[in-house]
């Protein structure tokens, strides 16, 4: 066993931080740490919180931390916010908001770098969850901005997906319907202190009662005012009901199977790419190939086959 694994599993927070960086940056030894951790996973429950920027996700996360802590549970938070890659502002804001949690040893908050993951952001996030699970956290909250495919993939790592909406986003409900709406297990209408709550609620219920919408589980709709701690216990309870549903209904197993078949394929493609790049494709070589593709002197299919061939005869 990697000595970092041993130490993070015994609760050493500094080793945990080092292991997470090792894994996130894919540095020497990261696979060993993941192998060690994998066997110790399956205990944490992962709750994903997604929704448009400014919906109050971080505020909700902060209140959820407080609620779970009051139940004696250890809580980790993974903040994945692509917008912070441009401004740096979002994450900083989150840090300040969650500052009073920073001194609690039962809480661990981690921001994900959103760029430079060869296997993709979702794969990196999944691995971070594996390490946190092995480190013994009871609840892991993952905050993402629900916009692109990356975020949909990340949120699929969660056992329970909470989609946060706010009043006054009527058209947006239609817009996010296709992607995030489908994977919502619980809906939150946050900022319920604002006008237009009834309208969002009506629209949501209309969507949820569409033919074929419900399959064994109809996502409950919870109204919250996160900034005033209202509705948080309803949200916790809704998430808990979903956990019980997953555990008792066959749907939970199907979901896990799907998740792990995806995970395995992701690992295969990432390892494959890493192997190719490490052994046979220097940046210079890649640049030459690119030039050749652009000039139509070479085609990418033949080039890919040539790479495959090299792996075979290695």
Ligand X SMILES: Nc1nc2c(ncn2[C@@H]2O[C@H](COP(=O)(O)OP(=O)(O)O)[C@@H](O)[C@H]2O)c(=O)[nH]1
| Residues 162, 149: Cα–Cα separation, whole Å | 17
| Residues 95, 15: Cα–Cα separation, whole Å | 21
| Residues 294, 146: Cα–Cα separation, whole Å | 35
Cβ(127)–Cβ(34) below 8 Å: yes
Q: What is the largest CA-CA distance in the chain?
A: 66
CA-based nearest residue to 266, from 76, 118, 110, 59: 118
CA distances from 197 to 57, 142, 192, 200, 234 (A): 17, 25, 6, 5, 17
54 binds ligand X (CB under 6 A): yes
Give min distance, CB of 99 to ligand X, in A.
13
Give min distance, CB of 118 to ligand X, in A.
28
For Mg ion, the binding residues in 43-82 under the rule CB under 5 A are 57-58
227 binds ligand X (CB under 6 A): yes
Binding-site size for ligand X (CB under 6 A) equals 15
Using CB under 6 A, which of the segments 6-14, 128-136, 185-193, 238-246 binds ligand X?
185-193
User: For ligand X, which is the closer residue by CB, 76 or 123?
Assistant: 76
Give min distance, CB of 178 to ligand X, in A.
20
Q: What is residue 60's three-state secondary structure? A: helix
226 binds ligand X (CB under 6 A): yes
State which H helix or E strand residue 222 sits in.
Answer: strand 221-223
203 binds ligand X (CB under 6 A): no
Give min distance, CB of 58 to Mg ion, in A.
3
55 binds ligand X (CB under 6 A): yes
User: For Mg ion, which is the closer residue by CB, 57 or 117?
Assistant: 57
190 binds ligand X (CB under 6 A): yes
User: For ligand X, which is the closer residue by CB, 20 or 49?
Assistant: 49
Residues in contact with Mg ion by CB under 5 A are 57-58
């Amino acid at each position: 066993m990697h000595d970092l694994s041993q130490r993070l599993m015994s609760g050493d927070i500094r080793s945990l931080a080092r292991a997470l960086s090792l894994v996130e940056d894919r540095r020497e030894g990261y696979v060993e740490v993941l192998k060690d951790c994998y066997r110790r996973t399956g205990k944490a429950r992962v709750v994903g919180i997604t929704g448009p920027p400014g919906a109050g996700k971080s505020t909700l996360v902060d209140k959820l931390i407080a609620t779970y802590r009051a139940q004696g549970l250890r809580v980790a938070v993974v903040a994945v916010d692509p917008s912070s890659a441009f401004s740096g502002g979002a994450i900083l804001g989150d840090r300040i908001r969650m500052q009073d949690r920073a001194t609690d040893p039962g809480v661990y908050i981690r921001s994900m770098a959103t760029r430079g993951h060869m296997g993709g952001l979702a794969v990196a996030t999944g691995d971070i969850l594996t390490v946190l699970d092995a480190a013994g956290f009871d609840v892991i909250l993952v905050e993402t901005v629900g916009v692109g495919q990356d975020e949909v993939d990340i949120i699929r790592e969660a056992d329970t997906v909470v989609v946060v909406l706010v009043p006054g986003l009527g058209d947006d409900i239609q817009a996010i319907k296709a992607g995030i709406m489908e994977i919502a297990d619980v809906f939150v209408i946050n900022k319920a202190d604002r006008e237009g709550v009834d309208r969002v609620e009506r629209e949501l219920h209309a969507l949820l009662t569409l033919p074929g919408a419900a399959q064994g589980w109809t996502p409950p709709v919870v109204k919250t005012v996160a900034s005033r701690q209202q509705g948080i216990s309803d949200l916790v309870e809704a998430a808990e009901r979903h956990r019980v549903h997953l555990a008792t209904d066959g749907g939970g197993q199907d979901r896990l199977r799907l998740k792990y078949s995806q995970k395995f394929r992701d690992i295969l493609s990432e390892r494959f790419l890493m192997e190719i790049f490490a052994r046979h494709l220097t940046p210079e070589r890649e640049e030459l190939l690119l030039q050749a593709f652009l000039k139509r002197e070479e085609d990418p299919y033949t080039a890919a086959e040539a790479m495959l061939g090299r792996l075979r005869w290695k």
